[in-house]
């Protein structure tokens, strides 16, 4: 556990962000290794099928993640206020909610898999492989929520290192199982999802055993869990807007995926790989934002608003510098990076064009995400939700449909950074109003 209410802001946030950044890299290795193995050993169709599944998965889990995030913010604020009993009750409430929700998500997703893919206009020849992958992945939702929920709780308590260790373990197991199942056993695309479920399940069980023996606050036991309605209502107040925001973002991703699907398997595969590269590039912004969220939560709990402002300024400087460096790497080596995922030359060309259009705007994504970190940490999630929906549903998606009608798939690519830019501008304008200062729960 770490007290973020004392010490120099820039150093604290940087040191807190680094373990989460490394953790995010290993988290993304799940998807990246899946795509590398599938693209190189199962072919372009399988690569497209896996890529088409990710927006569906994100949509199904996004509401739950948002509400659980509300609990994590409450944990950070109670911890900053030194109210440890409320911290314990918040953790129990989060576990009960996420476990029940994971069972519902699994059942709904598996039952409607074919209907969802057909709604997204997925080419019929990709449907069997996409169905196999998604069904196995969804069956393991309970361990996904359990593992990620435990990591989020620890970050709320100021501990960003312990989740990293278990994430590294899970990632290494996932990589080993991917290679074993595909290269040695010769199993199909479903085994890639199975490897992820086994890896996350093993890491979750290991984390619980370790924390029960060593941690001062977290003591996980199904018999000892207590559901606190008052804390859950606070979580809903803070987390539901965030959950709805995640959900509408996910639906936006599905809408874009549906549009991409109309351009055929090559474009689907290229978009899928380019999204994996995007996700790596964005890890820095997400780690800095998550660190700033915990920093903000604790400092608002302690009533120190000026420190929050200084933290934002430092985080924007660090995040922008890193974003520019990442953009340079992607522009210089985008084609070579694409080639690691697939030997298909046309997929590489199409994906490289995407990267050349989108990567110069990584800095705007960073600004948007970091500013959002302050508001999330403050518990102010309603207005940011509407700002996100505006930039997505009134800017990015309409532009994607309009521009693609005469520019082809490149019109979809251009709509993405324009949406980021609008989101960053409106988020900063709202931050300047200072209304986020009034949303704390302690």
**Token pair belonging to 145:** 């929520």
Read off the pTM: 0.76
pLDDT at 294 over 60: yes
**Distance of alpha carbon 161 from alpha carbon 7, whole angstroms:** 19
Give the separation between CA 308 and CA 312, rounded to whole angstroms.
6
**What is the rounded distance in angstroms from the CA atom of residue 174 to the CA atom of residue 172?**
5
**172: three-class secondary structure by DSSP:** helix
CB atoms within 10 A of CB 399: 18
* Contact partners, residue 97, CB within 8 Å, separation at least 6: 64, 67, 68, 71, 227, 232, 235
**What digits encode the pLDDT tens for the residues 9-61?**
888 888 888 877 877 777 777 778 888 888 888 888 888 888 888 888 888 88
The one-character DSSP state at 296 is H
Report the C-alpha gap between 50 and 41 in whole angstroms. Answer: 13
Two tokens, residue 347? 């997929």
Is residue 208 classed as helix, strand or coil in its secondary structure? helix
The pLDDT of residue 439 is above 70: no
Encoding tokens for residue 434?
């200072």
Q: Where are the beta strands (DSSP E) in 46-152?
A: none
Q: What is the pLDDT of residues 154-169, one digit of tens each?
A: 776 767 677 778 888 8
The end-to-end CA distance of the chain, in Å, is 19
What is the rounded distance in angstroms from the CA atom of residue 198 to the CA atom of residue 139?
11
Residues 6+ apart with CB under 8 A from 362: 281, 282, 285, 323, 326, 327, 330
- 287-311: average pLDDT: 84
């Amino acid at each position: 556990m770490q007290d973020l209410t004392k010490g120099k802001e820039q150093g604290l946030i940087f040191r807190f962000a680094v373990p989460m950044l490394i953790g995010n890299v290993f988290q993304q290795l799940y998807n990246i290794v899946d795509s590398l193995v599938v693209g190189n050993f199962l072919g372009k169709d399988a690569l497209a099928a896996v890529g088409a599944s990710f927006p569906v998965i994100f949509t199904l889990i996004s509401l739950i993640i948002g509400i659980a995030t509300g609990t994590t913010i409450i944990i950070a604020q109670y911890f900053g206020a030194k109210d440890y009993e409320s911290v314990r009750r918040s953790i129990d409430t989060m576990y009960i909610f996420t476990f029940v929700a994971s069972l519902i998500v699994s059942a709904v997703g598996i039952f409607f898999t074919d209907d969802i893919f057909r709604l997204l206009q997925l080419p019929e020849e990709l449907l069997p492989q996409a169905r196999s992958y998604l069904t196995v992945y969804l069956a393991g939702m309970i361990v996904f929520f359990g593992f990620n929920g435990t990591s989020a709780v620890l970050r709320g308590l100021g501990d960003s290192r312990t989740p990293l260790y278990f994430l590294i373990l899970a990632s290494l197991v996932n990589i080993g199982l991917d290679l074993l199942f595909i290269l040695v056993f010769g199993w199909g695309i479903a085994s890639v999802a199975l490897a992820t479920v086994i890896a996350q399940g093993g890491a979750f069980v290991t984390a619980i055993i370790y924390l029960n023996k060593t941690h001062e606050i977290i003591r996980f036991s199904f018999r000892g869990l207590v559901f606190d309605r008052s804390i859950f209502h606070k979580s809903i107040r803070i987390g539901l807007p965030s959950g709805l925001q995640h959900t509408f973002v996910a639906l936006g991703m599905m809408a874009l995926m549906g549009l991409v699907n109309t351009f055929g398997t090559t474009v689907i595969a290229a978009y899928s790989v380019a999204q994996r590269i995007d996700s790596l590039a964005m890890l820095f912004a997400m780690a800095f934002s998550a660190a700033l969220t915990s920093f903000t939560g604790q400092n608002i709990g302690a009533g120190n608003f000026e420190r929050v402002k200084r933290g934002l300024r430092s985080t924007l400087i660090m995040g922008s510098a890193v974003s520019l460096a990442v953009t340079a790497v992607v522009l210089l080596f985008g084609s070579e990076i694409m080639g690691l995922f697939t030997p298909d030359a046309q997929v590489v060309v199409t994906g490289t064009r995407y990267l050349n259009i989108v990567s110069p705007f990584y800095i705007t994504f960073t600004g948007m995400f970091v500013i959002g970190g302050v508001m999330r940490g403050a518990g102010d999630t309603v207005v940011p939700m509407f700002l996100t929906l505006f930039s997505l549903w009134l800017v990015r998606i309409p532009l994607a449909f309009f521009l693609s009608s005469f520019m082809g798939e490149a019109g979809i690519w251009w709509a993405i950074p324009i949406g980021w830019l609008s989101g960053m501008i409106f988020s900063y304008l709202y931050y300047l109003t200072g209304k986020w200062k009034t949303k704390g729960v302690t």
